Structure 1
């Protein structure tokens, strides 16, 4: 894709930084200890090793010789411990007795190794972090299939993730894309993989493995951004189910033309719910219950079973709201429904079972 922009110098620099950030996929990880705590802990351990070595040398000071005055005091012992553990070794203080030399072999040399491991450990960890992270990402990409990509981790995006996870979707099967690094950090802290970048760019969506996703939820802040993201996502994945949210109802047809399977008008939906609650608070509570997956009443889409073939929607055990026949959604009392067919799907209202997962062929209705 070609992007033509005429930004200023600061905007160019900012875009270059964002382009570099998009080269990484952030996977969730458990932080056991803060970096400053790790440094302080290792520094304390190094000081303890240094103090222990100085004490050992001072106790066995008669076995050492100082070229300057011949005797070794505590300051000389600390000096010898420092140059020995750091492998500097000036040679001005040296063990001369058999006991001191044996102590150097059996005690001080292992302490020198421990000291170097403590000091070099942080450097080695930094050097291996990139390799370890690349290995994690390669493993993540190789196992990621039929996942859910959520564009935008604001209020709408978070609510959408909570809904799909309430149906049994694992956190490892959710990838969040957002232009804010802080937002992605919050997503990874919640256990989701995240990609920092502009979702209108195909390379960013490719890093989120959109081309292998099963469903894509677009919850951006701007309607024009939602249109561009939908176009790019549909170009990369022809078979994924794309659901998008828009603020203005007049932009909904444009989203559908861009490739969205379903479009939710967030502002109008909230307004209608407010109006319904004013007219009937009880009806508003019922609607609020229906759009909260996993509690109270749930609205789900399921296939027609063999025992229901030939019956009318009202003759089934579940409360049928609509019948999906082909690409048409018919009301339960629509004369065109007639009797149920095996290829039909039913939109029903059922009682939610706490902790129960929805079967693979039973789909929760999209939330507003």
Structure 2
């Protein structure tokens, strides 16, 4: 049992117990979890090892690649521009990015980008890692690509393309790359330790990602059966632990997949939504803009991830709704985003709760890792106890 550090309010002792059991029962190597209630930390825990060899302890300020959990902060950048009247979510993407109108995409709306409904889950032509690191080339190819399905009709997870699509709109309006925009407008002023494009000065704080257990034969067969659009989204180009541990990946801007941060940072960013636009008394978005993040765009079987789910899902304007599967707790209107391998950010405005969970031993799934599930369930178990949390009614 590794030493668990940090603090946890007595009424949330179950979160600490679940975190400890992740190490003793669920194969955790190094990890951290932060839970905010009304912007105040009620649990802020970390422990284990930052490397596979067990030579570096996970510290309070250890950073780690959180994969798609970073899509939430990317969406916040777009909503901040919309809140300022600089971006219309119902306008065609081509109004801000003219080249995007190619191949019949002139009617694709900004909200389609945010909700994975643009039909651009991946590129049709082979795209190498070296090309992925080239922002302008990747965006130019996406702009020229014909949609895989009729935009606006269904969601299909935009695993890598999401950050380029939303990020390029942010860049066209602000003149800043997404990482710089996030730093200037959100993380810098609020002191949040999260980046797209890791600065060299922070490389000694980064945890080493460790491979998941090999997929079973059944899992391999499932991947082989994926349709071309799913392959384009999830494996063009192929990424993974070996790639994510390289300096080139860490320093690049791939906002859909290579955000680096602490659990505290993830909880704070999702806490902006949980706080209806405010974090610890500081307003970032108007209440209306914060609420719009979780505006559902229609439930369906996702065209990319659907074969792996036994149920329909629904994406809002940047985050997934908890829905009947209770992915982000019992409130169906709570929202969040999982990262490949297990990390998670969660926002529940009705409960005033935000959660950030990060780790370095990858799980085998894309969503609902058992370690994350255990932590989320422990949070809501604490809230259900007498005196656990008085709460304002849903709005």
TM-score (norm 2): 0.20
Bigger relative CO (Cα 8 Å, ≥ 6 apart)? 2
Greater radius of gyration (CA): 1
Higher relative helix content: 1
TM-score (norm 1): 0.21
